Amino acid sequence: MAESYRQLSFVRLDVGVVNFIVDPKSGFNDSTLYETLNHYCDPDYLQQHAVDVRLCGGRGQTMLFTLGPKEIGALYGPVRDFALEAAKAEGSSQPLQTSFPLCLRFYRRGGLIGKVLKRGFARWSATARRARAEFELTYQLYAEGFPVPRPLLAREGIDGLFVTNALVMEQLPQTQNLAEILEQRSLAPEEIVTVAQTLARFFKAGVYHSDLNIRNILLKTTAEGAQCYLIDFDKCSRGKLSQGRIEQMLARLERSFNKERELKEYDDSKLNVPAIMTLVRAQVKAAVKNIPQGRWHQVLTWWTALQSKLSALRARGTGSKR
């Protein structure tokens, strides 16, 4: 398996141990300065040096921004001489990329404990390494050609008993999530089919998405048709899926459609959830085959068979007494 990331570690008196997880194709190495890497996870620096900066997401945890050639540094590989590349590319049909839309996400806590510990996760908890886990899974999917954003850098700060996490990845330009599209128009049947086929591709690869909702599914309209992307792989995993787990994800997606319908007061002409989910489930069922039923389904099947045998034995016993 190809290398999914490299780690560069620093010890800082003010923040403890800081691990940076980087794309193995980046130009960063053991001689890279802490400040060079930390710039990408520093909102104050980005507010001053990036353009098109905006905050979104729950609790302001996501920052969208665009960097130019000077600020991008070695994030994509060895530092590039854009002036030289522009001169070589003059007259070429392929434009030189000189702006880099990126996304910085901090992992924040919710609920009552989030009011005290906004970003800190206990070192011994299963969620302490969320940025690393999401980076590794998303990078693996990206390397295999799945329609996901490209992760570029993660920051893992270890200070005493707590760990803080941040992740930098590419934006997906010219895309809208399903909720944004519904604000403008209804989803076309071919778009729903595209979404279903994309989900089926992930399911067949054993990808479990813990928060499959309409804001984590993006569409991009091209001359060839709609393209679908899946984002936000926090607390997701990859392994063997059961039909029950797939239905669990589809049920979550259905709830998000229904919630949006209720919130925006859409009627059936705008958002017919049963029709959409019937089409999605049919497409997934046709594409994802030979998937085990799952443990609980097997237990239920065993219990039903046992009850049938017991009933047959009781009936036989009653007949012999007669």
**Sequence-distant (≥ 6) Cβ neighbours of residue 260 within 8 angstroms:** 179, 182, 214, 266, 271
Catalytic one of 23, 42, 159, 211? 211
What are the tokens at 66?
């665009």
d(CA 102, CA 104): 7
- Distances in Å between the Cα of 45 and the Cα atoms of 55, 99, 158 are 15, 17, 21
Amino acid identity of 284?
V
d(CA 216, CA 214): 6
What are the tokens at 314?
């009781």
Q: Which residues make beta-bridge pairs with 179? A: none
User: Could you give the 3-state DSSP secondary structure of residue 220?
Assistant: strand
d(CA 74, CA 293): 47
d(CA 199, CA 228): 9
What are the tokens at 243?
């039909």
Amino acid identity of 77?
G
Asked about 159 being catalytic, the answer comes back as no
Reduced DSSP (H G I as helix, E B as strand, rest coil) percent helix, strand, coil of the chain, to 5: 40, 20, 35
d(CA 68, CA 100): 6
User: Could you give the 3-state DSSP secondary structure of residue 263?
Assistant: helix
What are the tokens at 128?
């302490």
Residues tagged active-site: 211
